[in-house]
Amino acid sequence: ILNVEQSPQSLHVQEGDSTNFTCSFPSSNFYALHWYRWETAKSPEALFVMTLNGDEKKKGRISATLNTKEGYSYLYIKGSQPEDSATYLCAFDYGGATNKLIFGTGTLLAVQP
Amino acid sequence: NAGVTQTPKFQVLKTGQSMTLQCAQDMNHNSMYWYRQDPGMGLRLIYYSASEGTTDKGEVPNGYNVSRLNKREFSLRLESAAPSQTSVYFCASSETGAVQETQYFGPGTRLLVL
């Protein structure tokens, strides 16, 4: 059974704090690791698709790293803002004829002004 | 460009009633997916359609049927709703269904089965 775990489940930070969370996934049959940002009452929105060991991607104040050998990815947010409040989902892409994804349960981030 | 749209946004059903959740995408994508989201669990794949005319079971298909009506539309049907099907349902699409592709999600349908 393929299992994707995210930690912590939730995080409360103050505006301006930097934060990070973890996604753990199987280290075999790896094709890609996806990060999504999901605001309440909106659609999950793609942040990054990471494919190579050692990958580091950045979008504004958000960045992500990937270690496929040990099966984890970190998402970092520098200088958190209230608009960063959302659930951050990771999804493991194990290949196959269609890109079926295994999602983690997400990390809920709340940034207080 | 609306992306992925879903109707209805909310629905309340009684046990045993049937309904169809509609999904449409305007990105000319080949592959479409239905997921359900339950508290404390990740998004779980119900059914997917790799291309027009094909559908396949995902992780949790029991109690559901799907129809890929055309390239744009992919519907999910509950023939006899059960309280265990209370959930938030998301439709998604991707360009070709190839590995490593981003999936684009709709806004979700919240379903309550009493």
Cβ neighbours around A62 below 10 Å, total: 18
Mutate to test the interface with A, among B44, B99, B109 (most CBs of A within 10 A): B99
Task: Provide the pLDDT confidence category of residue A98 given band limits of 50, 70 and 90.
Answer: low
CA A14 to chain centre: 20
pLDDT of residue A93: 87
Say whether A101 and B108 touch across the interface (CB within 8 A): no
Chain A residues with a Cβ under 8 Å from any Cβ in chain B: 4, 31-32, 34, 36, 41-46, 49, 51, 89, 91, 93, 95-106
pLDDT of residue B44: 94
The 10s digit of each residue's pLDDT in B55-88 is 999 989 999 999 998 999 999 999 999 999 999 9
The 10s digit of each residue's pLDDT in B28-46 is 999 999 999 998 888 999 9
Answer whether A24's CB lies under 8 Å from A31's CB.
Answer: no
Q: Provide the shortest C-alpha distance from residue B114 to chain A (in Å).
A: 22
Task: Provide the pLDDT confidence category of residue A9 given band limits of 50, 70 and 90.
Answer: very high
User: A33: which 2 tokens?
Assistant: 């690791």
Answer whether A59's CB lies under 8 Å from A4's CB.
Answer: no
Cα separation values, B78 from A82, B20, B61, B64, Å: 38, 6, 11, 5
Q: Residue A28: which residues within 8 A CB-CB, separation 6 or more? A: none
Q: Which of A94, A63, A72 lies closest to A23, judged by CA?
A: A72
Average pLDDT score, chain A: 92
Does the structure show a pLDDT above 80 at A104? yes
CA gap A54, B39 in Å, rounded: 32
pLDDT of residue B76: 98
Average the pLDDT over A79-108 and give the result: 89
pLDDT of residue A3: 87
In chain A, residues with a C-beta closer than 8 Å to the C-beta of B45 are 100-101
Instruction: Please tell me chain A's helix, strand, coil percentages from 3-state DSSP, rounded to the nearest 5.
Output: 5, 55, 45
pLDDT of residue B15: 97
In eight-state DSSP terms, residue B79 is S
- A28-37, A90-99, B105-114: lowest mean pLDDT where? A90-99
Say whether B42 and A106 touch across the interface (CB within 8 A): yes
Going across the sheet that includes B4-7, the strands are: B4-7, B19-25, B74-78, B64-68
Average pLDDT score, chain B: 94
The count of CB pairs under 8 A between chains A and B is 68
In chain B, residues with a C-beta closer than 8 Å to the C-beta of A55 are none
Say whether A98 and B48 touch across the interface (CB within 8 A): yes
* Facing residue for A32 by CB, picked from B40, B48, B99: B99
Answer whether B110's CB lies under 8 Å from A107's CB.
Answer: no
Q: Provide the shortest C-alpha distance from residue B104 to chain A (in Å).
A: 7
pLDDT of residue A96: 63
